[in-house]
Structure 1
Amino acid sequence: MTSNRNRLWDDVLLILTMAVLAGCGLIYEYLLSHYAGRVLGIMESTIYAMIGLMIVAMGLGAFAARKIQCAFNGFVWLELMIAFLGSSSILIIGGLIAITQTFPDILGSMFNLPPDAYPRGGLFKQLSFIAFNSPYFFGLILGFFIGMEIPLIARIREEIHQKHLKNNLGTIYGADYIGAGIGAAIWVIFLLSIDISKASALTAALNLTAGIVFILYYWQKLTWRKTLITAHGILLVMIMAIYQFGNGWLSQMSNLLYLDKVVYSDKTRFQQLTFTKRNMGPEEGSIINFYLNGRLQFSSSDEFIYHSYLVSPVLAGSARHDNILIIGGGDGLALRDVLQWQPKKVTLVDLDAQLIELFKNPHEKLPLRLANAIEDLNAVSLRDERVEIIAADAFIAIDQLLQSHQTFDAIIVDLPDPSHPDLNKLYSVNFYARLKQLLAGDGLIGIQSASPYHAKDAFIAIGKTVQAAGYSTVQQYHDNVPSFGEWGWTIASKMGAAPLTRLKRLPQLPVAHHWLTLPMVTNAFEFSRDFYQDSETVPINYLGSHAIYQLHQKAWQDQQGLNNAHLQ
């Protein structure tokens, strides 16, 4: 009876352990996939590749588990290795990328080389390639070790029962599947919203706990017990340090990749926010740059160029300016320009409530000088009483606006580039068609449309997609924004005269701008003779097709704003 009771407790321990470790294994897949997507920039394909690679590695690990002679010793050492790799791999990856990207600059400065002569090719290029692809290496190794867990626990159960168990694998796989499901839920509900270093440390702590429990429970079956205890103690200290300081270390390594000094960095539920500052001297002052997930969103030196082209043509060509809709633009810069046209109401829809709050009340979180600079830039537009802010997914929020039968005199779409699959739907026929229902008959819609030079096909695809949504006339225009290079916008009318025709009828811009003039606007509609020559081959972005996302990713493999701008 006592023997049966002990075996029951053994079974409970082993099955519970398997469930917990399965959850940890799935979380490691998500952690590495998520981070690899940020590093390599091609989020969707990187995540799928990483998960697929780790699953294959788990299969190889399952085959290799037969080589371990003592299942008890092997399991404890295995959990030690998984805990070490799981907690430290992201920091190691970040360190490798930081070192390979900054080392040429260090050598160049050491030997007083001009910037264009810094050693970035040959060996340094290969080292950079290896560093940026190191997430796959760690995914392969970690997956290999995780794959050993099920065979070892199956062997331990049979050794305890001293016989072949008929449904041994079924029991263990059942615990594995349930545990993986719980792990996925924990990732989505909790871990996805905290720092990635803390998430990895918490997950690794469970692997370490499993090893410690095995040491205590199966003490007599183990060899090298003192060594195992010491190793677990050392790793426990390391995991605690990573939990406490890992995010700071990771931020410092990431900050090395920016061209200017990082003065503030934070993570919202949806994205990484980074402000950098470049001191230009006592007379010129400082330049503030703002990044989302490593991609430059605006520079204080020339953001007025981008926003004047985004706002002025749309409002100048619309019959009225009483009720304006802005999609995106949570920084308040487009809103600042819109408010100069004296609207009665502006509705701003942006996904990230934390980002909006940061730009609305910068003194609550930002350093004093940075907060003052932000208020000078957006003219505290987000605090204007005429502005209604809706913090929601625009794809869903516009349905609520349609249900309330709202109509807007002009619509301005100021969204980030379609650099992530989640953004692709906001560049689709479906989205633009629903915005058309919100637009007044004599109004215009203006859309930021990426670069007609660096991402030509994506730029043309946006115009074709707007046309497919049923607008009467769709036109595009462009100009140079120094921080971004050649940039483009799309403008469309619901009915009546074409946007450019309306603008040419004006003697001047109805609301004067300190930089932009009406001739500059009308001239911006001119493209080279053969610019649209191959437009027939460019696809329209229907919902679910991911056409614009894929075109944009193909064009922008090298991101802007970083020394080697692969980091996203």
Structure 2
Amino acid sequence: MSEPDPSADATEGGLPHGAPARLLILFSVFVIGACGLMYELIAGAVASYLLGDSVTMYSLVIGVFLAAMGFGSFLTQWIRSDLLGAFLRIQLAVGVVGGFSGLATFAAFAHTDEIMPVVLGLCGVVGALVGMEIPLVIRLMKEGAVLRVNVAQVLSVDYLGALAASTAFPFLVLPLLGLTRAALLIGMFNILIASFGIAMFWRDLPGRRALCGWTLVCGMLLIGGFAAAGRATTWLEDRLYQDEVILAETTPYQRIVITRWQDDIRLFLNGHLQFSAADEYRYHEALVVPGVTAASRATRAPLRVLLLGGGDGLAVRELLRHAEVEQIDLVDIDRRVVELFRDNPLLRELNGGSLTDPRVACHYEDAFVFLRNLRAARYDLIVMDLPDPSGVETSKLYSRTFFGLALRKLTPRGVLVTQASSPFYAREAYWCVVRTIESAVGELPPSKSAESKPFSIIPYHSQVPSFGDWGFVMAAAKRPAAEHWPPPEKTRYLTYSVFERALVFAPDSRKVETEINELDDPVLVRYHNAGWSRWNQ
């Protein structure tokens, strides 16, 4: 690569007009600053939705994007003439590549296992193009102001655009458009900037007719992509799932996909199976029945229950089968999941309309925040039906701090139950949850109440065909007793004899020594992902 020629700067040209042109360029900087950050956020969100572990995905996306921006900025020193034309062509390129980046990533996920090179490659290309924009703008504005004023104005407007994007993305763009259409719409803004530039500087723009033609082509591509994005995403998701996709939505928190094959309805969140209607009762009975039985035995009074997660209403359905349950507070961060399973007739049939029962109160909040802000309320039973700890954002819900918060919200003889992944597929992860709960119990202050009894930690597991061998952990003063177990006609799977067998672990899933999962050291993520990766290769 040859060295840039400083003498060429004299021929590169500034803005051909005065204040109006300068204002247009500053407005363009605001828009491209917003677009650049939007592309970054979309890439991180798509990677997180499809691959999980949002901390790792966003770290890689941000790192590659910023490095590519630096490389793009470096390359602009070899652009020696027609700066305005170069800037407008870059707008077209970033609009098309960035606009179709969401669809391209979904297509790669549907047709190949090697998705990370695609995600990072797109980030690199878009980042390099975005990185070329600001140096060109500063050089375009060299006429009429000293360098320090140009730099101050351009960078301040660029950062304001980024602020606008970071505010609009989670609260407006993503809920209304979803990821693929959001990227395409942002691409159209880049095309609009190119169009305004062509219109304003038409007489002074070399190659203006060809540039105008390419702008029309790029705009038509993005408009066509936007119109077809919904159908294209559905078609690609049909390639991902074995069964027909009957519903797909993107919320600020996750990608919701529901499939159907004959009578089997399946829910996927961010690509991970949450339940199959064919056997979900096995999972939900194992999650609910032992806890209700133990709490009923301990309190001998109507039960007040806190359910963390479970916005599909299936765990609520199981809780309501027990007459001793008087009140349920359901906490789910994603309001849309609850709305779907409350209002959609097909989904409401699965949970028996449990979410409309007057004994159920819904709270749309992060479970950690809910527990931290909870003051006077105390529960006889806390059931945790939370996502697997595949990333730092979910691992916190299995931390020593979180379990400690939950245990302190129990009545003196209260019971806590949580799902805990598979003791066979992710053996270390399961026993890490057990040890973390044991640690949290050990840190509880001594109770002065005569009713209070020390907790026993009771690990057990259940066979759920859709998941395999699945584990649960209960913290209770006493194990459920046979005389308190619901009669056989109240359960489809979990009788007392089945539960007794569930307390026994085979040699290949018995307890192993692990570290404690902490907020600042989420070892559970490593255990979980390492365990499952052995079976998903």
TM-score (norm 1): 0.83
Residue type at the aligned position of 1:542: E
Give the 3-state SS of the residue equivalent to 2:248 in structure 1: strand
Task: Provide the rounded CA distance (Å) in 1 between the counterparts of 2:463 and 2:387.
Answer: 18
Check conservation: 1:39, 1:132, Cα contact below 8 A.
Answer: no
Task: Provide the rounded CA distance (Å) in 2 between the counterparts of 1:539 and 1:519.
Answer: 33
Q: 1:294 to 1:178 in 2, by over 3 A?
A: same
Task: Provide the rounded CA distance (Å) in 2 between the counterparts of 1:82 and 1:414.
Answer: 42
Q: CA deviation at 1:9?
A: 2.8
Check conservation: 2:332, 2:366, Cα contact below 8 A.
Answer: yes
Q: CA deviation at 1:4?
A: 12
User: Is residue 416 from structure 1 mapped to residue 387 from structure 2 by the alignment?
Assistant: yes
Residue type at the aligned position of 1:357: E
Task: Provide the rounded CA distance (Å) in 1 between the counterparts of 2:493 and 2:534.
Answer: 31
Residue type at the aligned position of 2:431: I
Q: CA deviation at 1:532?
A: 5.2
Task: Provide the rounded CA distance (Å) in 1 between the counterparts of 2:103 and 2:502.
Answer: 46
Matching residue of 1:116: none
Equivalent of 2:56 in 45, 53, 73? 45
Check conservation: 1:23, 1:180, Cα contact below 8 A.
Answer: yes
Matching residue of 1:118: none
Q: CA deviation at 1:75?
A: 1.1
Q: CA deviation at 1:52?
A: 0.7
Matching residue of 1:104: none
Alignment of 1:198-277 (within 5 A): 198-277=181-260
Could you list the runs of 5+ residues in structure 1 that have no partner in the other structure? 101-127, 280-285, 364-370
Give the 3-state SS of the residue equivalent to 1:195 in structure 2: helix
Give the aligned length: 503
Task: Provide the rounded CA distance (Å) in 1 between the counterparts of 2:199 and 2:276.
Answer: 58
Give the 3-state SS of the residue equivalent to 1:544 in structure 2: coil
Matching residue of 2:274: 297
Task: Provide the rounded CA distance (Å) in 2 between the counterparts of 1:444 and 1:338.
Answer: 14
User: Is residue 462 from structure 1 mapped to residue 452 from structure 2 by the alignment?
Assistant: no
Matching residue of 1:99: 111
Residue type at the aligned position of 2:289: S
Task: Provide the rounded CA distance (Å) in 2 between the counterparts of 1:267 and 1:453.
Answer: 32
Matching residue of 2:303: 322
Q: CA deviation at 1:479?
A: 2.3
User: Is residue 55 from structure 1 mapped to residue 66 from structure 2 by the alignment?
Assistant: yes
User: Is residue 172 from structure 1 mapped to residue 150 from structure 2 by the alignment?
Assistant: no
Give the % identical residues: 28
Matching residue of 2:35: 24
Task: Provide the rounded CA distance (Å) in 2 between the counterparts of 1:459 and 1:516.
Answer: 21
Give the 3-state SS of the residue equivalent to 2:141 in structure 1: helix
Q: 1:83 to 1:395 in 2, by over 3 A?
A: same
Check conservation: 2:420, 2:473, Cα contact below 8 A.
Answer: yes
Check conservation: 2:307, 2:328, Cα contact below 8 A.
Answer: yes
Give the 3-state SS of the residue equivalent to 2:253 in structure 1: coil
Check conservation: 2:16, 2:204, Cα contact below 8 A.
Answer: no
Alignment of 1:356-395 (within 5 A): 356-363=338-345, 371=346, 374-395=347-368
TM-score (norm 2): 0.87
User: Is residue 527 from structure 1 mapped to residue 505 from structure 2 by the alignment?
Assistant: yes
Check conservation: 1:415, 1:448, Cα contact below 8 A.
Answer: yes
Residue type at the aligned position of 2:368: F
1:183-223 deviation line (CA, Å, top 9, x unaligned)? 32222332232311222122112211221122122223322
1:215-274 deviation line (CA, Å, top 9, x unaligned)? 122223322211111111121122222233213312221221101111222233322222
Q: CA deviation at 1:529?
A: 4.8
Task: Provide the rounded CA distance (Å) in 2 between the counterparts of 1:426 and 1:156.
Answer: 51
Task: Provide the rounded CA distance (Å) in 1 between the counterparts of 2:328 and 2:26.
Answer: 58
Check conservation: 2:64, 2:120, Cα contact below 8 A.
Answer: yes
Matching residue of 2:75: 64
Equivalent of 1:139 in 123, 147, 157? 123
Q: CA deviation at 1:477?
A: 0.8
Q: CA deviation at 1:149?
A: 0.8
Task: Provide the rounded CA distance (Å) in 2 between the counterparts of 1:245 and 1:165.
Answer: 45
Q: CA deviation at 1:344?
A: 2.1
1:395-448 deviation line (CA, Å, top 9, x unaligned)? 222345x42x23322221111212333222221222212221222222321111
Q: CA deviation at 1:299?
A: 0.7
Task: Provide the rounded CA distance (Å) in 1 between the counterparts of 2:246 and 2:239.
Answer: 12
Check conservation: 2:38, 2:165, Cα contact below 8 A.
Answer: yes
Q: CA deviation at 1:559?
A: 9.1
User: Is residue 556 from structure 1 mapped to residue 532 from structure 2 by the alignment?
Assistant: yes
Task: Provide the rounded CA distance (Å) in 2 between the counterparts of 1:277 and 1:147.
Answer: 45
User: Is residue 148 from structure 1 mapped to residue 132 from structure 2 by the alignment?
Assistant: yes
Check conservation: 1:72, 1:221, Cα contact below 8 A.
Answer: no
Task: Provide the rounded CA distance (Å) in 2 between the counterparts of 1:79 and 1:240.
Answer: 16
Q: 1:167 to 1:199 in 2, by over 3 A?
A: same
Alignment of 1:480-491 (within 5 A): 480-491=463-474
Q: CA deviation at 1:457?
A: 1.6
Q: 1:395 to 1:166 in 2, by over 3 A?
A: closer
Q: CA deviation at 1:390?
A: 2.2
Equivalent of 1:337 in 278, 294, 318? 318
Task: Provide the rounded CA distance (Å) in 2 between the counterparts of 1:298 and 1:37.
Answer: 21
Q: CA deviation at 1:449?
A: 0.6
User: Is residue 308 from structure 1 mapped to residue 285 from structure 2 by the alignment?
Assistant: yes
Q: 1:213 to 1:559 in 2, by over 3 A?
A: farther
Equivalent of 1:514 in 492, 498, 504? 492
Q: CA deviation at 1:19?
A: 2.4
Could you list the runs of 5+ residues in structure 2 that have no partner in the other structure? 1-13, 443-454
Matching residue of 1:123: none
Give the 3-state SS of the residue equivalent to 2:278 in structure 1: coil
Check conservation: 2:105, 2:118, Cα contact below 8 A.
Answer: yes
Q: CA deviation at 1:167?
A: 4.3
Check conservation: 1:275, 1:290, Cα contact below 8 A.
Answer: yes
Check conservation: 1:325, 1:408, Cα contact below 8 A.
Answer: yes
Equivalent of 2:178 in 195, 198, 201? 195
Q: 1:254 to 1:311 in 2, by over 3 A?
A: same
Residue type at the aligned position of 2:154: I
Task: Provide the rounded CA distance (Å) in 1 between the counterparts of 2:351 and 2:272.
Answer: 20
Task: Provide the rounded CA distance (Å) in 1 between the counterparts of 2:410 and 2:148.
Answer: 68
Equivalent of 1:15 in 15, 26, 32? 26
Q: CA deviation at 1:33?
A: 1.6
Check conservation: 1:424, 1:548, Cα contact below 8 A.
Answer: yes
Matching residue of 1:366: none
Task: Provide the rounded CA distance (Å) in 2 between the counterparts of 1:210 and 1:510.
Answer: 67
Task: Provide the rounded CA distance (Å) in 1 between the counterparts of 2:329 and 2:511.
Answer: 38
Q: CA deviation at 1:147?
A: 1.0
Equivalent of 1:452 in 410, 423, 439? 423
Residue type at the aligned position of 2:383: I
Check conservation: 2:392, 2:525, Cα contact below 8 A.
Answer: yes
1:287-310 deviation line (CA, Å, top 9, x unaligned)? 111111111111111111111111
Task: Provide the rounded CA distance (Å) in 2 between the counterparts of 1:57 and 1:452.
Answer: 42
Check conservation: 1:29, 1:54, Cα contact below 8 A.
Answer: yes
User: RMSD of the TM alignment (CA)?
Assistant: 2.5
Matching residue of 1:34: 45
Residue type at the aligned position of 2:414: G
Give the 3-state SS of the residue equivalent to 2:69 in structure 1: helix
Check conservation: 1:295, 1:559, Cα contact below 8 A.
Answer: no
Check conservation: 2:421, 2:471, Cα contact below 8 A.
Answer: yes
Check conservation: 1:433, 1:470, Cα contact below 8 A.
Answer: yes
Q: 1:303 to 1:242 in 2, by over 3 A?
A: same
Check conservation: 1:353, 1:391, Cα contact below 8 A.
Answer: yes
User: Is residue 84 from structure 1 mapped to residue 96 from structure 2 by the alignment?
Assistant: yes
Check conservation: 1:508, 1:518, Cα contact below 8 A.
Answer: no
Between stretches 510-519 and 351-360, larger displacement belongs to 510-519
